[in-house]
Each structure stands twice: as structure tokens, then as C-alpha cells.
């Protein structure tokens, strides 16, 4: 190469929030890294691109370097040997190929709005090809009477099938690049097409790029490892993925590239974890302390086996001298709160402070109440929640804490008098400082952004606190491995005994009267009922109107004073919300009408019916969370999913699944298959550490596990990747890390 290489470093798309404390990274100082890699060349230097197209490629497809383009893969292929008949075309078809002869061509319409219509015919029928752009050029190129191979997507106009902006080639066109027999269809946008970067052009650019880089593409997986994992060489894989000579080569290319992607992701995550275990000192908490023991012994029930197992894991972490970074997963109602509070008592017992952060005020209050209940067996001299000065202080801090209270809390935390605090986001505000924070528990962690969570980490000057993040959103295994590959994961996979299954029923409007009657029966038997309306983020006003109408309908069907109905929604002040929630929790209301604010955590064992209105509007995980609000007591419980008479097939599938299983993990896996991990990721407000280009978390679970196992084997044999054979890994990893969020600092 004679052309000077311009290196452009891709910005991390996940650079959310402040950069956390970085630690010296042995890999980045490695000499091998200094060597330029042709794949880092800016895409504008590729012949045929230039600055204008480069800017567009960057903006539309995120392609900034040679690597980016080489790693932009076709999402579909069209078999060149498969030529369709015009008569067989249907508007639902994807890209197809036909071979046809031009009968007429004409330009229709006025200057600006003109279009070129080319009518072609094969032995089976005729078809219009329509061009809105580049008319003159096209017109000059296409000749009546000539035959072309036409490549495009059938669409419908005025009831007739046509093709808009297809690509034409003479049937005698030279052979396809690299002996391929299939045309890759690449991601594109309207803007790219308008700028002349059609699929054909893009494909040509890739072909030129491959020609330039082929000899210089370095292998990034050591040969021994590649052989063991049956991987084709990187060069070959990149060639076949773009220009597959046959299906078999395409499949081995896909396999290799998917493996590569997942393997480096896992290698990176596991390496971070390895570094953390070795580098990050944690606060040593040698004993559980008297408060833990007393409260534990006084529990009115036995812990489940799973709770015991998890507490043991946490306890081992906390006394290890290394920092704990643990994710606790447990289905709704599995008893995570108790685990959190007991862990907090370990920190307190060792002379440190602990905090428990919840996403909503309602939940924070609930946790605070659980905490007080748990502490009850202690003597009054041991703890206090007022300013009496005795024992260790506990406190509740939320957005509605009054200024005077807040000042006292701030001070108590700084002096160390308050040892255990429960709160909302208020806990991560800047003026909150701890004297010696030993444990931070974050409940329903997906409700908090990464940046928010990271703030807690920095709340103490010295050794970072142990961190326990809890989630009731059952994250599918594959996603958890990717999102939290470097965290220890504990799972509570067992519900407390005595829980009865929740019967789930699907009903439409015609059954409303019957449903109301059923509710009356339950209330007459002393039970309580939730009625939930969907929340659509786009229009708060509409949600509210929805809810208000619902509330009116409910109070009409269940008139006061015979029935007492409370309402909770996002527009209320937090006091009002708490007041109404409390009325329901204490049995002073029979029915709670709410938006999905009650989705997480709320615990009212006497509630036996959960009615979900417009259930088709909720995702599976959300429905499952809502259903988890009932079935907590010893009574039979019900979940009634109300939907329109007519719902989409997708919605029907979700509802049917809900009616057929109560297992959160099964539902989460199904949810991911149906919606794709991107969506789930969105609802989790977190985001994958990298964007996967070819592998799919929903479909490539097995390969992910294999990649992870392989990564673990490599690291256990050579934790620092210092062996000569592992140099390629080291190099790739250092490049890779630039674009990966460091999840070891997740909290």
C-alpha cells in the first residue's frame, strides 16, 4: 500500500455517563498494539468513496473504517442461479431476480415529478420498472429490445405489481466477484440510495475493499484454537460472507464470524472479571455480627433453600477481601428483599454502613417497613429510627423527605451515625456522602441507568463498597451472560412454600359483566383486587384519560360505600400516591385502580385478583411482573387478561403463553425470541456492551455458551494472555475494549 493510512478510532456508542475510575491496563501498553492495522483505515480512502460518501456511510450505517465496512454483512442473499418468472411474482416477496426484455420505456409527468417507466416482458408476463431518480442516465442506458437480468423487490402500484429502482445488468455480465453465486443484500437507507449507493454499488465497494485488504487481514484467533473450534480462517470467512460460492461456505463463514464476535465479547468480559478479582480490594467483613444472628433466628419462617444458598454466596464474597459485584436474579415473590436486608445487616455488624436503593418511593417505603419488621426482635438499644441517639441509626430518604429531615440524614450519613438507609434516587444526589459505605444494594436494577448506578460506587473515598444488584426481570440466560458476563450471578430459583398457582384467564369485552360479578364475589369473601391500565409513554394525556374513564367505569360498577376504590397513577404527588397505596395495602380499599406504576415489588398478600385491561398492550415480562402481585397469600388467586375481541396474532401468542405458564424464565426466553433482545435491552435501560453484528442472542444461545466456555479455558490456561500463541487475542481484545462498556463498574 502506498496510500497513507488515516486512522480513525471509533467512539464507543455506549459512552454513557462519566468515565469511571480506570485502572492501568497491561494489554494497552503492549508493543504489538502500536502496529497499524489496515482495517483501521478511514473509509473515505477507499477508491470510489471519498469524503462525501464517507460522511453518508458513517451517518447512515455507522461505517467509518475499512473494518466497519468489511464487518457490514449482507442480511440476505439472492441466489444468482434462481431466475423467477414474472407471472410468479408477488408483492410480499423479498428481492428477486428476473430475466426480461424491454418492450417500451417512457418518461411520465412534469420535470420535478417525472418518472421513467420501463416495461419489460418475459415468456410469462410483463412488468413495469419505475425510476424516480437518475432518469436521464437510466433512460440513456436502457435500450428497447434488449434483455436484462433485473434484480429488485416486487411492490404494488394501482393494483399492479411493479419494481421501483431495480438494478439491471446485461445477462452476459462478467462473472461475479470471487466466484460467488449469490448476491448479498446489504442494509441500506433511502438517503444512501438517493446518493447512488445502491446495493450493487455497495457490493462493488466491498469487493474492492476486500481486494485491497485481503493479503493484510490478520488472523485474530490462534491457529490451534481455530482448529479446535472448527473455524475457517478469518480471510476466507470474510470473503465467503460477502461473496459466497455456495451454501456450505456461507455457513462456515457465518459460524466463524458469529463465534469470533461472541468469543471476544466473552473474553473481554471474563478478563475484566479476572482483573477485578485480582485487582480490586474489597472491604473485609469477617463475621456476620450479632444483629444478623438475632434477626435471622427470629424470622417467623424458614428461609427457602435458594435464599440460604444466596446468602451464603454473599457472605463468602463479603468476607473474602475482594469486592463483591453480584447480580441477584429471582422471580417476583421469591423473597429478594429479605436477602437484601440480611446482607445489609452483615455490613452493619462489621461496623460499616449499608444502603438499599429502590426505583420508586412506594417500594422504598415498603422496604423500609420490611426492615423495621425484621429489626423488631433486636433490643431498643440496638437501633433507632429517630434522633434519640441510641444504637445504630436507620433512615428513609426519598424525594419527599422534608428539608430538615434531609439535613439530619445527610449529617447522620457523614458522621456514620446512620448505618442503614433505604431510599430512592435521592440517595445518589451529590450532597449524600457516606462515612464508610460497606454495601450498596440496588433493587430492580434495570430501572436505573448505568450512570446513575455508577454514582453509588463513588460515594465513599476509600475502598469501594460491595455491590448487590437485584432484578425480578428474569433475564434470559444468554442475555445475562452477555450483559453481566463479568458479574457473579446468584439465582433464587425457588418460591417460598405455600404459594398457590395463579389461574390466568383471557377474557374479552363480552365477559366483562361476568368478570365484575367474579370480583364482587372475591370482595365479599374479604379479598382485594388490582385493576391495571396500560401506560403508553407517547401520550401521558391519553393514558390519563384512559385511566380516568376506567376509574369511572369501575366506581360505577362498584359503588361506594359498599365498595371502596383507590387510585394510583403517575400524575399524583408522591404523598397522594403513598396514601392511596397504603390504604390498599392496609385493607382500607377493596379495589386498586392503577397504571403500571405498581408493576414492581408491591406486596399485598390479601389481594387475589389482578385484572389487566388492554392486556395486548403489555409485553410478556411486564404481564408477568403484574401477575406476580397476586398469589402471595394462602388464597386462590386469579389473573384476568382483558383484551379487545380482535387482537394481532402476536398479542394472542403472548396472552396464550401467559395462560399456559407461570415460569418467569420460560416467559423471558419466549419474549426475547418474539421481540428480539434489542427490545428487552431497551426496557432494561441498560444496553448490550457491544452491538452484535451477526450473532443473535435469541438464536445463537448454544454458540454463545460454547464461546464462553472456550474463552474461560483460554483464560484459565493463560490469565494475562501472555503466551506468544495468544498475541492475536491480546491484540484483538485491546481493540475490542475500546468499544465495550466496562460492566465491571456497572454499579
> Which range of residues in 31-39, 525-533, 594-602, 642-650 is near Mg ion by CB under 5 A?
594-602
Q: Are 392 and 382 in contact (CB under 8 A)?
A: yes
Shortest Cβ distance from residue 342 to Mg ion (Å)? Answer: 14
**Partner whose binding site includes residue 334, from ligand ADP, Mg ion, none (CB under 5 to 8 Å by kind):** ligand ADP
Shortest Cβ distance from residue 310 to ligand ADP (Å)? Answer: 11
Closest Cα to residue 330, out of 466, 470, 488?
Answer: 470
Shortest Cβ distance from residue 506 to ligand ADP (Å)? Answer: 25
Residue closer to ligand ADP, measured from CB, 86 or 469 = 469
Residue closer to ligand ADP, measured from CB, 8 or 334 = 334
The footprint of ligand ADP on this chain (CB under 6 A) covers a number of residues equal to 17
Binding mask 668-707 for ligand ADP (x = CB under 6 A): ----------------------------------------
* CA neighbours closer than 13 Å in the CB half-sphere of residue 653: 9
CA distance 621 to 632: 18
Residue 493 binds to ligand ADP (criterion: CB under 6 A): no
CA distances from 392 to 130, 245, 286, 381, 416 (A): 78, 73, 19, 9, 9
Contacts of 538 (CB under 8 A, 6+ apart): none
> Which range of residues in 62-70, 497-505, 595-603, 693-701 is near Mg ion by CB under 5 A?
595-603
Residue closer to ligand ADP, measured from CB, 56 or 342 = 342
DSSP codes of every residue in 154-200 = EEEETTEEEEES-EEE-TTPPPPGGG--EEEE----HHHHHTT--HH
Residue 601 binds to Mg ion (criterion: CB under 5 A): yes
Contacts of 147 (CB under 8 A, 6+ apart): 99, 100, 101, 102, 170, 171
CA distance 469 to 83: 56
Residues 472-491 that bind ligand ADP (CB under 6 A): 472
Residues 428-467 that bind Mg ion (CB under 5 A): none
| Binding test (CB under 6 A) with ligand ADP, winner from 105, 425, 632, 731 | 632
Strand order in the sheet with 528-533: 502-508, 637-643, 607-612, 528-533, 591-595, 565-568
Binding mask 547-586 for ligand ADP (x = CB under 6 A): ----------------------------------------
Shortest Cβ distance from residue 288 to ligand ADP (Å)? Answer: 18
Residue closer to Mg ion, measured from CB, 626 or 690 = 626
- The DSSP bridge partners found for residue 508 are 643
Residue closer to ligand ADP, measured from CB, 335 or 474 = 335
Shortest Cβ distance from residue 618 to ligand ADP (Å)? Answer: 18
> Which range of residues in 226-234, 237-245, 301-309, 698-706 is near ligand ADP by CB under 6 A?
301-309
3-state secondary structure (DSSP) of residue 608 = strand
Residues 496-515 that bind ligand ADP (CB under 6 A): 496
Shortest Cβ distance from residue 366 to Mg ion (Å)? Answer: 8
Shortest Cβ distance from residue 632 to ligand ADP (Å)? Answer: 6
Helix spans in 214-304 (H): 223-228, 234-242, 247-279, 289-297
| 144 alpha carbon, distance to own chain's centre | 53
Q: Is the dihedral of CA 225, 231, 232, 235 positive or negative?
A: negative
Residue 301 binds to ligand ADP (criterion: CB under 6 A): yes
Residues 338-367 that bind ligand ADP (CB under 6 A): 338
Residues 303-342 that bind ligand ADP (CB under 6 A): 303-304, 307, 330, 332-338
Q: Are 161 and 155 in contact (CB under 8 A)?
A: yes
3-state secondary structure (DSSP) of residue 282 = coil
Binding mask 456-475 for ligand ADP (x = CB under 6 A): ----------------x---
| Binding test (CB under 6 A) with ligand ADP, winner from 30, 128, 410, 603 | 603
Shortest Cβ distance from residue 301 to ligand ADP (Å)? Answer: 4
From the number of C-beta atoms within 10 Å of its C-beta (0-12, 13-18, 19+), residue 613 rates as buried
Residue nearest to ligand ADP (CB): 335
Q: What are residue 34's phi and psi, to 5 degrees?
A: -70, -20
CA distance 480 to 518: 40
Cis ω on the peptide bond leading into residue 152 (within 30° of 0)? no
Residue 622 binds to ligand ADP (criterion: CB under 6 A): no
∠ Cα 589 590 592 (to 5°): 80
* CA neighbours closer than 13 Å in the CB half-sphere of residue 66: 23
Q: Are 323 and 466 in contact (CB under 8 A)?
A: yes
Helix spans in 382-511 (H): 403-415, 450-457, 477-483
3-state secondary structure (DSSP) of residue 129 = strand
Residue 382 binds to ligand ADP (criterion: CB under 6 A): no
Shortest Cβ distance from residue 683 to ligand ADP (Å)? Answer: 18
- The DSSP bridge partners found for residue 96 are 152
CA distance 292 to 272: 32
Shortest Cβ distance from residue 600 to ligand ADP (Å)? Answer: 8
CA distances from 18 to 12, 615, 737 (A): 13, 39, 17
Residue closer to ligand ADP, measured from CB, 357 or 515 = 357
Residue closer to ligand ADP, measured from CB, 54 or 295 = 295
Residue closer to Mg ion, measured from CB, 150 or 338 = 338
Residue closer to ligand ADP, measured from CB, 332 or 641 = 332
**Partner whose binding site includes residue 438, from Mg ion, ligand ADP, none (CB under 5 to 8 Å by kind):** none
**Partner whose binding site includes residue 301, from ligand ADP, Mg ion, none (CB under 5 to 8 Å by kind):** ligand ADP
Which residues of the shown chain bind Mg ion in the complex (CB under 5 A)?
601
Residues that bind ligand ADP (CB under 6 A): 301, 303-304, 307, 330, 332-338, 472, 496, 601, 603, 632
Amino acid at each position: 500500500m502506498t496510500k497513507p493510512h488515516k486512522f480513525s478510532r471509533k467512539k464507543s456508542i455506549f459512552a454513557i455517563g462519566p468515565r469511571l475510575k480506570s485502572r492501568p491496563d497491561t494489554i494497552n501498553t503492549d508493543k504489538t498494539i502500536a502496529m497499524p492495522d489496515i482495517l483501521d483505515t478511514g473509509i473515505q480512502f477507499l477508491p470510489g468513496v471519498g469524503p462525501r460518501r464517507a460522511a453518508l456511510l458513517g451517518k447512515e450505517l455507522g461505517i467509518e473504517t475499512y473494518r466497519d465496512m468489511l464487518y457490514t454483512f449482507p442480511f440476505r442473499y439472492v441466489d444468482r442461479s434462481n431466475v423467477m418468472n414474472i407471472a410468479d411474482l408477488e408483492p410480499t416477496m423479498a428481492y428477486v431476480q428476473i430475466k426480461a426484455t424491454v418492450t417500451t420505456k417512457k418518461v411520465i409527468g412534469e420535470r420535478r415529478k417525472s418518472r421513467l417507466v420501463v416495461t419489460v416482458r418475459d415468456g410469462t408476463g410483463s412488468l413495469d420498472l419505475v425510476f424516480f431518480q437518475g432518469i436521464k442516465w437510466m433512460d440513456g442506458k436502457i435500450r428497447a429490445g434488449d434483455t436484462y437480468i433485473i434484480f429488485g423487490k416486487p411492490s404494488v402500484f394501482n393494483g399492479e405489481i411493479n419494481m421501483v429502482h431495480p438494478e439491471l445488468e446485461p445477462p452476459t455480465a462478467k462473472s461475479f466477484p470471487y466466484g460467488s453465486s449469490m448476491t448479498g443484500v446489504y442494509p441500506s437507507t433511502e438517503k444512501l440510495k438517493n446518493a447512488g449507493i445502491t446495493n450493487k454499488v455497495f457490493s462493488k465497494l466491498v469487493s474492492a475493499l476486500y481486494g485491497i485488504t485481503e493479503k493484510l487481514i490478520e488472523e485474530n484467533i490462534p491457529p490451534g484454537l481455530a482448529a479446535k473450534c472448527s473455524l475457517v480462517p478469518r480471510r476466507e470467512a470474510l470473503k465467503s460472507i460477502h461473496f459466497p460460492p455456495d451454501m456450505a461456505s456461507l455457513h462456515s463463514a457465518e459460524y466463524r464470524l458469529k463465534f469470533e464476535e461472541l468469543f471476544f465479547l466473552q473474553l473481554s468480559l471474563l478478563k475484566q472479571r479476572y482483573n477485578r478479582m485480582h485487582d480490586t480490594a474489597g472491604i473485609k467483613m469477617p463475621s456476620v455480627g450479632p444483629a444478623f444472628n438475632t434477626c435471622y433466628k427470629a424470622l417467623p419462617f424458614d428461609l427457602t433453600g435458594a435464599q440460604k444458598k444466596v446468602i451464603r454466596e454473599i457472605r463468602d464474597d463479603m468476607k473474602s477481601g475482594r469486592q463483591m459485584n453480584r447480580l441477584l436474579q429471582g422471580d417476583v415473590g421469591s423473597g429478594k428483599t429479605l436477602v437484601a436486608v440480611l446482607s445489609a445487616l452483615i455490613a452493619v455488624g462489621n461496623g460499616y454502613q449499608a444502603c438499599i436503593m429502590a426505583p420508586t418511593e412506594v417500594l422504598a417505603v415498603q422496604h423500609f417497613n420490611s426492615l423495621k419488621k425484621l429489626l423488631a426482635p433486636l433490643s431498643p438499644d440496638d437501633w433507632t429510627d429517630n434522633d434519640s441517639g441510641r444504637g445504630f441509626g436507620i433512615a428513609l430518604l426519598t424525594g419527599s423527605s422534608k428539608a430538615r429531615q434531609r439535613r439530619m440524614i445527610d449529617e447522620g450519613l457523614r458522621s456514620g451515625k446512620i448505618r442503614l438507609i433505604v431510599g430512592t434516587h435521592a440517595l445518589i444526589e451529590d450532597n449524600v456522602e457516606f462515612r464508610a459505605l460497606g454495601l450498596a444494594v440496588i433493587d430492580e436494577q434495570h430501572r436505573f441507568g448505568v450512570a446513575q448506578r455508577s454514582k453509588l460506587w463513588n460515594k465513599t473515598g476509600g475502598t469501594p463498597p460491595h455491590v448487590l444488584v437485584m432484578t425480578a426481570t428474569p433475564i434470559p440466560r444468554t442475555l445475562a451472560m452477555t450483559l453481566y458476563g463479568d458479574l457473579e450471578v446468584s439465582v433464587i430459583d425457588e418460591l417460598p412454600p405455600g404459594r398457590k398457582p395463579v389461574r390466568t384467564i383471557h377474557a374479552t369485552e363480552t365477559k366483562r359483566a361476568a368478570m365484575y360479578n367474579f370480583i364482587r364475589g372475591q370482595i365479599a369473601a374479604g379479598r382485594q383486587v388490582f385493576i391495571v391500565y396500560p401506560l403508553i409513554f407517547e401520550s401521558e394525556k391519553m393514558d390519563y384519560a384512559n385511566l380516568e374513564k376506567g376509574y369511572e367505569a369501575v366506581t360505577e360498577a362498584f359503588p361506594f360505600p359498599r365498595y371502596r376504590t383507590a387510585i394510583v397513577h403517575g400524575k399524583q404527588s408522591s404523598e397522594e400516591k403513598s396514601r392511596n397505596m397504603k390504604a390498599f395495602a392496609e385493607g382500607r380499599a377493596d379495589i386498586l385502580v392503577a397504571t403500571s406504576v405498581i408493576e414492581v415489588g408491591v406486596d399485598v398478600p390479601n389481594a387475589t385478583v389482578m385484572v389487566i385491561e388492554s392486556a395486548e398492550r403489555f409485553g410478556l415480562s411486564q404481564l408477568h411482573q403484574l401477575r406476580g402481585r397476586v398469589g402471595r397469600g394462602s388464597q386462590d388467586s386469579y389473573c384476568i387478561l382483558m383484551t379487545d375481541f380482535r387482537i394481532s396474532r402476536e398479542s394472542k401468542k403472548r396472552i396464550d403463553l401467559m395462560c399456559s405458564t407461570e415460569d418467569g424464565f420460560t416467559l423471558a426466553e419466549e419474549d426475547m425470541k418474539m421481540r428480539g433482545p434489542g427490545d428487552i435491552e431497551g426496557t432494561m435501560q441498560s444496553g448490550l456492551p457491544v452491538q452484535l453484528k451477526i450473532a443473535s442472542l435469541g438464536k445463537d444461545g448454544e454458540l454463545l455458551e460454547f464461546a464462553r466456555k472456550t474463552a474461560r479455558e483460554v483464560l484459565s490456561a493463560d490469565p494475562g494472555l501472555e503466551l506468544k500463541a495468544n498475541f492475536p487475542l491480546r491484540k484483538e481484545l485491546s481493540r475490542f475494549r475500546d468499544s465495550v462498556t466496562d460492566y465491571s463498574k456497572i454499579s
